[in-house]
Amino acid sequence: MNVPSVKLRDDDILLCSYAKSGTHWMSEICRMLIHGRTDIEVKPKLAFMLELKPQETLDKEPSPRLLNTHYRFDRLPTDLKTKKTKIIYIRRNPQDFVVSFYYHTLKLHQPYEYEGEFKDYFGLFLDGKVDYGSWFDFVKDWEKIIAENPDVPILDCTYEDLKEDPIREIRRVADFLGVERNENLFRSIAESCNIDIMRARFKGHFKFREDGEKTFCRKGETGDWKNLFTVATNERFDQIYKQRMVDSKLKFKFTI
């Protein structure tokens, strides 16, 4: 799909993130807020992913459409220049992200066919030789876009904030989307979108290697990077992070 040419609607909602940063989680939250209930049909985010679906498929979706992509801002639909599309951008601390992406790559034998150890994958991550390129460039690009375009409706969210206080963050999303919902629904959505229920809801919707866990949702935790990072890995990460993010004001919570 040629994403820049995708035709948008004024009431579209676009979820943007680097992969493995909580897009499925946020997608479920938004869908429940839009419908005003939690007993909604199971629809993985892949069903509304700009880089995977043709225009005619997207056109069949009723408004308001909840679309998503892992592309950088400069590769998003050019319609954003004229439409009133709201963007929810979600980011995750890079240490947890790279651990999650490593296990994701192992489980999806097709198309990756990856058999390496974490230390090998970590090197690929640092060099930007993973899906969607450099994580550092991605988050800094979005940081710049948000800072320089205050007129563009973008809600900046983090995986860690959503984990720390889901009801508060769900309320923020509802306010941003302009949907009037009550606290009971916020609590119900938080409960319905916890990792155990999400894992059960999406089980069987993705193809994994035969010896892998049959679920797209893994742990849904923060701080899991400590289980794979050695002292040497952490020291190398800290050094690279300081170099690559020296001109960034972004703050990430590495433990909560």
**Token digits of residue 11:** 């009431």
Find all residues with CB under 8 Å of 87, minimum gap 6, and list them: 13, 14, 15, 16, 80, 152, 153, 154, 155
The 8 Å CB, 24+ separation contacts for 164-169 are 164/253, 164/256, 166/190, 166/193
Instruction: Read off φ and ψ for residue 67, nearest 5 degrees.
Output: -105, 165
CA–CA gap between residue 47 and residue 2 (Å, rounded):
16
The counts of H helices and E strands in the chain are 11, 4
**Token digits of residue 231:** 């002292």
109 is catalytic: no
C-beta atoms surrounding 84 within 10 Å: 12
Q: At what angle do helices 135-148 and 94-107 cross, to 10 degrees?
A: 130
CA–CA gap between residue 241 and residue 127 (Å, rounded):
12
DSSP string, 85-115: -EEEEEE--HHHHHHHHHHHHHH-HHHH---
Residues 70, 104, 109, 205: which is the catalytic one? 70
Would you please indicate which residues are annotated as catalytic (active-site) residues? Answer: 70
